[in-house]
């Protein structure tokens, strides 16, 4: 684990372990219909996206990636999923082929990121192949982002009951991302702040909130495409996510 994170010699216990497990069990009983609708929605949207968008867009992006740098067009990495079960997460490759990709987080000015990769990361187009993960059931469209195995272990050693975020399927997008929690988690604050938003989503998840997250994510992606030339790093698109995330929190708390 990085030296920055190791400076935090304390562990924050966000929820008692027994309370967390009780919340999970009760949520399954109360949200059975919601989870069924969510899965039907995931299958429907991922199928339509793959057939009508990815069928022609992915080949184009794959060719551009191969022309931009040596290596495969896709990057497949083992990530932590629902209830801690690992799965292979599919992304478009945005870095040069390197030996530390499974344990070293990417930074905003990471020299491993290719020219095309910078555009793909800012616009989140590198995440498009994950609709295949959604279709087969490893992921959902909305949910906490899946971590690398190394990061999940490291973050869990800093925040007690960090496994709470594993009580739902990981997602392509989520509140934490709209709130600006993207890129490397360099210190305790960034880890815990991201966890708080993931936990918030798990406790308040519903169809209306999922639709709002998807809508705001789409708006953010289109904005990042139009303003790519003026963007200097991943933190600038985060300004849009910061505002959107706060609006999400207010609407979810008020039952909107």
pLDDT of residue 31: 82
What is the mean pLDDT of the segment spanning 34-53? 97
Contacts of 79 (CB under 8 A, 6+ apart): 86, 87, 88, 89, 146, 147, 148, 149, 170
pLDDT of residue 24: 62
Task: Kindly tell me if the per-residue pLDDT of 197 is higher than 70.
Answer: yes
DSSP codes, 178-200:
HTT--S---SHHHHHHHHHHHHH
Name the pLDDT band for 229 (thresholds 50, 70, 90). Answer: low
What is the mean pLDDT of the segment spanning 99-118? 88
Task: Kindly tell me if the per-residue pLDDT of 108 is higher than 70.
Answer: yes
Find tokens 């429907």 and name the residue. Answer: 44
Name the pLDDT band for 21 (thresholds 50, 70, 90). Answer: low
Least confident of 15-24, 162-171, 209-218: 15-24
108 vs 244: which has the higher pLDDT = 108
Euclidean distance between CA atoms 34 and 100, whole angstroms: 39
Q: Could you tell me the pTM of the whole model? A: 0.81
Pairing of strands 12-13, 159-160: parallel
Query: Helix, strand or coil for residue 35?
Result: helix
Question: Rounded to 5 degrees, what are φ and ψ at 96?
Answer: -70, 155
Least confident of 50-54, 58-62, 247-251: 247-251
Contacts of 217 (CB under 8 A, 6+ apart): 124, 173, 177, 178
Task: Kindly tell me if the per-residue pLDDT of 143 is higher than 80.
Answer: yes
> For residue 87, what are the β-bridge partners?
79
Tokens of 60: 């184009």
CA trace torsion 108, 81, 215, 204 (10° rounding): -120
Contacts of 5 (CB under 8 A, 6+ apart): 154, 158, 185, 186, 187, 188, 191
What is the mean pLDDT of the segment spanning 47-67? 98
pLDDT digits (tens, 9 = 90+) for 121-131: 989 999 999 99
Task: Kindly tell me if the per-residue pLDDT of 245 is higher than 80.
Answer: no
Task: Kindly tell me if the per-residue pLDDT of 251 is higher than 50.
Answer: no
CA distances for 52 relative to 142, 198, 236, angstroms: 20, 31, 31
pLDDT digits (tens, 9 = 90+) for 181-190: 877 787 888 8
What is the mean pLDDT of the segment spanning 85-109? 91
Q: How many domains does the chain have?
A: 1
DSSP 233: S
DSSP codes, 89-147:
EEEE--B---TTTTTS---TT-TTB-HHHHHHHHTTGGGTTHHHHHHHTS-EEESPPPP
Tokens of 81: 């999923």
pLDDT of residue 168: 94
Contacts of 254 (CB under 8 A, 6+ apart): none
Range(s) of the domain holding residue 43:
3-253
Cβ atoms of 194 and 146 within 8 Å: the answer is: no
CA distances for 77 relative to 50, 91, 254, angstroms: 20, 8, 38
Task: Kindly tell me if the per-residue pLDDT of 2 is higher than 60.
Answer: no
pLDDT of residue 164: 93
């Amino acid at each position: 684990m990085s030296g920055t994170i190791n400076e935090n010699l304390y562990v924050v216990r966000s929820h008692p372990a027994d309370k967390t497990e009780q919340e999970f069990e009760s949520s399954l009983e109360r949200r059975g219909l919601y989870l069924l609708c969510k899965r039907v929605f995931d299958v429907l949207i991922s199928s339509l996206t793959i057939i009508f968008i990815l069928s022609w867009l992915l080949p184009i992006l794959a060719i551009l990636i191969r022309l931009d740098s040596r290596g495969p067009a896709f990057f497949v990495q083992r990530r932590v999923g629902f209830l801690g079960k690992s799965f292979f997460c599919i992304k478009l490759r945005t870095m040069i082929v390197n030996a530390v990709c499974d344990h070293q987080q990417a930074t905003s000015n990471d020299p491993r990121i290719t020219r095309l990769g910078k555009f793909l990361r800012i616009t989140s187009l590198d995440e498009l192949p994950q609709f295949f993960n959604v279709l087969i059931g490893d992921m959902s469209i909305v949910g906490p982002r899946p971590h690398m195995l190394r990061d999940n272990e490291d973050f869990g050693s800093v925040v007690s009951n960090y496994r709470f975020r594993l009580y739902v399927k990981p997602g392509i997008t989520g509140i934490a991302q709209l709130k600006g929690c993207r890129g490397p988690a360099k210190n305790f604050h960034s880890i815990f702040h991201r966890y708080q938003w993931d936990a918030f989503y798990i406790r308040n998840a519903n169809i209306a909130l999922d639709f709002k997250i998807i809508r705001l994510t789409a708006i953010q992606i289109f904005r990042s495409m139009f303003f790519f030339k003026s963007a200097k790093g991943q933190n600038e698109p985060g300004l849009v996510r910061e505002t959107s995330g706060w609006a999400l929190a207010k609407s979810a708390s008020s039952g909107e």
